[in-house]
Amino acid sequence: MKPILEIDAVSKRFTRTLDVAGRVAQRLGAKVREETVHAVDSVSLTIAPGEVVGLVGESGCGKSTLGRVVAGIHSASAGRILLDGQDIAALTGAERRAATLAVQMIFQDPFASLNPRLRVEDIIGEAPRVHGLVTADALSDYVDETMRRVGLDPALKRRYAHQFSGGQRQRIGIARALAVKPRFLVCDEAIAALDVSIQAQVINLFMDLREELGLTYLFISHDLSVVEHIADSVAIMYLGRIVETAPTEALFEAPRHPYTRALLAEAPRLDQRRRQFEPIRGEIPSPLDPPPGCHFHPRCPKTQDICRTALPALDPIVPGRHAACHFWAET
């Protein structure tokens, strides 16, 4: 099947340039320099229509940045985002707008992600009205319909966001995204800030919407059990790079990359509640100054000399399955 969205060698760098004082200090021999963070480092990923891809990694690994690049909030420093085979950044005019609206994002913080000064009807209705997706007369009904779709009572549409609970606010955020008829949703830790009981409801809502509207998801999470539950395939990120991609079942049965294996081993499970956990050695290195070669080598139990110098490619193991480790075959 033709992919709906392709992430093609996308990098995102954040550079802090020196101000005048910094440049003067540098001239005088102080050890200040421009700092560049490689938040996302040449990541490629292909997503088929209707698929749910889980993007998993520790905090600071660049998964949220990648999500924001996909959603068009950040522009990529290098690489392309292709929607239906077309580079979104190269489009102009109406096509560009259609592509922008086709990819929407659900945010982590249901409090910061809604404008506190707007009523719910404006939060949901603004974009469709501005883009002329509905006429002014039909807007009210359209907002009602969108609210019902995400399980909100349209009678509450005159309220402000702060008058809702966390779960309801997340539904408002989902309604806002759905109102522009997207085909692809980037969910950035969309349930992480919710109570566990509410998490299940919101996940079910996502899955219902997928069936009803034929949505495709990039589901960013650090919670392996959630990803195992809903994702068709999983990509594991470590320090700006994807280290392993695989269909969900295959990944959870037989992880190939040492980092994936360590992550899975540490996920709490009911049947292992008595065992002692052995955390991955060390800290995640600073993305300001990543280690050479394989980024994981300072923490990896299988480090060899080659790991310290050569960057492992994301090798295909079987179709749909890749691992970026020099020694994936031995494990």
100 binds other proteins (CB under 8 A): yes
Q: What is the CA radius of gyration of the chain?
A: 22
169 binds other proteins (CB under 8 A): no
173 binds other proteins (CB under 8 A): yes
Q: Which residues contact 118 (CB under 8 A, 6 or more apart)?
A: 126, 160, 161
- Number of Cβ within 10 Å of residue 216's Cβ equals 23
Q: Which residues contact 258 (CB under 8 A, 6 or more apart)?
A: 296, 300, 301, 302, 325, 331
107 binds other proteins (CB under 8 A): yes
127 binds other proteins (CB under 8 A): yes
21 binds other proteins (CB under 8 A): no
Least spacing, CB of residue 117 vs other proteins, in Å:
4
Q: Taking CB under 8 A as the criterion, which residues in 40-99 touch other proteins? A: 68, 71-73, 97
19 binds other proteins (CB under 8 A): yes
199 binds other proteins (CB under 8 A): no
Q: Is the Cβ of residue 180 or residue 262 nearer to other proteins in the bound state?
A: 180
Q: Which of 5-13, 86-94, 111-119, 286-294 is the region at the interface with other proteins (rule: CB under 8 A)?
A: 111-119
E strands in 67-215: 78-83, 86-87, 103-106, 184-188
Q: Which of 169-177, 191-199, 231-239, 292-300 is the region at the interface with other proteins (rule: CB under 8 A)?
A: 169-177
116 binds other proteins (CB under 8 A): yes
- Number of Cβ within 10 Å of residue 277's Cβ equals 9
Least spacing, CB of residue 29 vs other proteins, in Å:
24
Q: Is the Cβ of residue 163 or residue 309 nearer to other proteins in the bound state?
A: 163
Exposed (0-12), middle (13-18) or buried (19+): which is 322, by Cβ within 10 Å?
buried
Which of 6, 53, 65, 104 forms a contact with other proteins (CB under 8 A)?
Answer: 104
- Number of Cβ within 10 Å of residue 329's Cβ equals 10
Which of 1, 94, 130, 136 forms a contact with other proteins (CB under 8 A)?
Answer: 130
221 binds other proteins (CB under 8 A): no
Partners of residue 80 on adjacent β-strands: 8
Q: Report residue 65 CA to chain centroid gap.
A: 7
Total residues at interface with other proteins (CB under 8 A): 34
The torsion angle over the Cα atoms of residues 91, 93, 95 and 99, rounded to 10 degrees, is 70
Say if CB 144 and CB 150 are below 8 A apart: no
Residues binding other proteins (CB under 8 A): 19-20, 68, 71-73, 97, 100-101, 103-105, 107-109, 112-117, 126-127, 130-131, 158-160, 162-163, 173, 176-177, 180
